[in-house]
């Protein structure tokens, strides 16, 4: 790993020149980032194929396209977002005067990416940081090694290190990285590592965004369109072999629809991936042996209805449906983050609300229903970060929606304008008109002033 102190020092010097405060400069750099995606598609596809066995269509749809849409939206709207805005000023206490809010960059931002969508989850926050005018140190996940190497190669070719620098570091080296002072830290990953990030940031009172995970429920009530729900669930769950932070972690299906749902889930799995998903080029692989062995232990829970096959050599686990599960089983004690889908049942929606709320707040929640009362009740009474009604995971593709968790599933939001705001600090200014000098707040405080003050309190 390069000397992190020297990188930070050089970035602070560059930031102090004021170059990144220019909106024209920011737009030029964002367009360079867009050029990377446009000019290096083949390399990106190859890297993700090697790391996660991703099909080219999956890479383009779920990584590159989301980044391109975010870039287009940001480039189009940046000048409007960054414009100093005037806000209201209380009357008569602060009259005459005016109040404004402006946005300024934090300074040197550290962005720590994740391995499951290693391009998307590294570059998406980078877009926000660049749009806000920060210098950035980018740390891709070392687990997705081919994508890490490609990001380092491309960023280094397009941007000077005093502006955007890419570092590589393993778990031990990250302790040194986190001991340094940054002006903002953005982390995507597990809650366990997120706690370490937060503890390190606390030493310097550095603001952070933590994009974590959790056990995201998918609820299917008695009114749901089961064939439709099955296809959206299978796609959202088994995309990237289940290694998606917002994938449905488990199903909560009404008892009366369970049999029908299972039939449709199996039918859809065969339709999408064939009788043997190992032969499908559309089905991913587990990132490494550590995660494979963890998932194999979780396979010991419940009764396997479909799937269950494992190949250690190719890091393959078949898409698996699991029945006869309770909250006490090991598979319900942690985020699965793999192609295992437990199925629980309920008889009344209040049971779902009670049981979900007894556990840490999930990053996402999905509900398949035609019942508007159930929809309103669940959205209002369960705390979660983001979600969908009658769909899965699509909220991440909407740059108009802030994305992030709550409680154990994260803190802070990003995407679109929210990313710009996250990586900016708001500067509030009140400007007094000197032509009118109101002196009544000054001492000495007389009875007459007190009388007027009481009048103002009722104003």
For 364-375, give the DSSP string: EEEEE-S-HHHH
pLDDT score for 249: 98
Record the tokens describing residue 376, joined without a space: 């309103």
3-state SS track over 248-294: CCEEEEEHHHHHHHHHHHHHHHHHHHCCCHHHCCCCCCCCCHHHHHH
The torsion of the CA quartet 298, 302, 308, 311, rounded to 10 degrees, works out to 30
- β-partners of residue 221 are none
Locus of tokens 């968790």: 405
Q: How many residues make up the chain in this entry?
A: 459
* Contact partners, residue 17, CB within 8 Å, separation at least 6: none
135 is catalytic: no
| Dihedrals phi, psi of 398, to nearest 5 degrees | -100, 105
pLDDT score for 1: 56
pLDDT score for 335: 96
218 is catalytic: no
8-state DSSP, 216: -
pLDDT score for 95: 83
pLDDT score for 442: 87
Q: Which domains, ranges and CATH numbers included, belong to the chain?
A: 4-212+410-426 (3.40.605.10), 217-402 (3.40.309.10)
Greatest Cα pair distance, the chain, in angstroms, is 89
- Does the pTM surpass 0.75? The reply is yes
How far apart (Å, rounded) are the C-alpha atoms in residues 187 and 174?
Answer: 12
The one catalytic residue in 63, 211, 335, 421 is: 211
The one catalytic residue in 108, 136, 245, 392 is: 245
pLDDT score for 459: 67
Between helix 145-158 and helix 41-52 the angle, nearest 10°, is 160
How far apart (Å, rounded) are the C-alpha atoms in residues 189 and 193?
Answer: 7
pLDDT score for 2: 62
SS3 169: coil
Of 200, 244, 186, 206, nearest to 410 by C-alpha is 186
Could you read off the pLDDT tens digit of each residue along the chain, which spans 459 residues? 568 999 999 999 999 999 999 999 999 999 999 999 999 999 999 999 999 999 999 999 999 999 999 999 999 999 999 999 999 988 877 888 999 999 999 999 999 999 999 999 999 999 999 999 999 999 999 999 999 999 999 999 999 999 999 999 988 889 899 999 999 999 999 999 999 999 999 999 999 999 999 999 999 999 999 999 999 999 999 999 999 999 999 999 999 999 999 999 999 999 999 999 999 999 999 999 999 999 999 999 999 999 999 999 999 999 999 999 999 999 999 999 999 999 999 999 999 999 999 999 999 999 999 999 999 999 999 999 999 999 999 999 999 999 999 999 999 999 999 999 999 999 999 999 888 888 878 899 898 888 888 887 776
pLDDT score for 441: 82
Q: By the 8 A CB rule, do 188 and 121 touch?
A: yes
Buried b (16+ CB within 10 A) or exposed e, 160-178: ebbbbbbbbbeeeebeebb
C-alpha angle 326/331/337, rounded to 5°? 140
Of 378, 375, 377, 383, nearest to 405 by C-alpha is 383
């Amino acid at each position: 790993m390069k000397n992190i102190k020297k990188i930070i020092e050089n970035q602070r010097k560059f930031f102090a020149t004021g170059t990144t405060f220019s909106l024209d400069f920011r737009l030029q750099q964002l367009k360079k980032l867009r050029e990377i995606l446009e000019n290096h598609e083949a390399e990106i596809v190859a890297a993700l194929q090697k790391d996660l066995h991703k099909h080219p269509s999956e890479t383009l749809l779920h990584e590159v396209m989301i980044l391109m849409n975010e870039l287009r939206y940001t480039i189009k709207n940046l000048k409007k977002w960054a414009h100093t805005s005037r806000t209201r000023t209380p009357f008569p206490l602060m009259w005459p005067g005016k109040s404004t809010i402006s946005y300024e960059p934090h300074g040197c931002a550290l962005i720590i990416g994740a391995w499951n969508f290693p391009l998307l989850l590294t570059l998406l926050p980078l877009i926000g940081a660049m749009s806000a005018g920060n210098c950035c140190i980018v740390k891709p996940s070392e687990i997705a090694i081919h994508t890490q190497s490609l990001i380092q190669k491309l960023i280094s070719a397009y941007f000077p290190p005093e502006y955007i620098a890419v570092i590589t570091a393993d778990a031990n080296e990250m302790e040194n990285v986190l001991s340094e002072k940054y002006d903002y830290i953005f982390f995507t990953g597990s809650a366990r590592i997120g706690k370490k990030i937060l503890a390190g940031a606390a030493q310097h009172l550095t603001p952070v965004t933590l994009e974590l995970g959790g056990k995201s429920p998918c609820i299917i009530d008695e009114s749901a369109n089961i064939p439709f729900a099955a296809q959206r669930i299978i796609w959202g769950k088994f995309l990237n072999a289940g290694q998606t932070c917002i994938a449905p972690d488990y199903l909560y299906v009404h008892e009366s629809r369970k049999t029908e749902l299972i039939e449709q889930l199996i039918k859809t799995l065969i339709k999408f991936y064939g009788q043997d998903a190992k032969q499908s080029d559309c089905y991913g692989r587990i990132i490494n042996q550590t995660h494979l062995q963890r998932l194999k232990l979780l396979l010991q829970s419940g009764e396997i209805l479909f799937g269950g096959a494992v190949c250690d050599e190719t890091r393959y686990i078949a898409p698996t449906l699991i029945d006869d599960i309770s909250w006490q089983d090991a598979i319900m004690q942690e985020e699965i983050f793999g192609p295992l889908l437990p199925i629980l049942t309920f008889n009344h929606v209040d049971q779902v609300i009670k049981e979900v709320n007894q556990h840490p707040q999930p990053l996402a929640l999905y509900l398949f229903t035609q019942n508007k009362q159930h929809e309103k009740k669940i959205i209002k009474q369960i705390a979660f970060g983001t979600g969908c009604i009658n769909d899965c995971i699509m909220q991440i593709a909407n740059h108009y929606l802030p994305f992030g968790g709550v409680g154990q599933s994260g803190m802070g939001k990003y995407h679109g304008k929210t990313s710009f705001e996250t990586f900016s600090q708001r500067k509030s200014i009140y400007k007094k008109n000197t032509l009118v000098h109101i002196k009544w707040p000054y001492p000495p405080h007389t009875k007459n002033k007190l009388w007027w003050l009481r009048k103002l309190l009722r104003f």
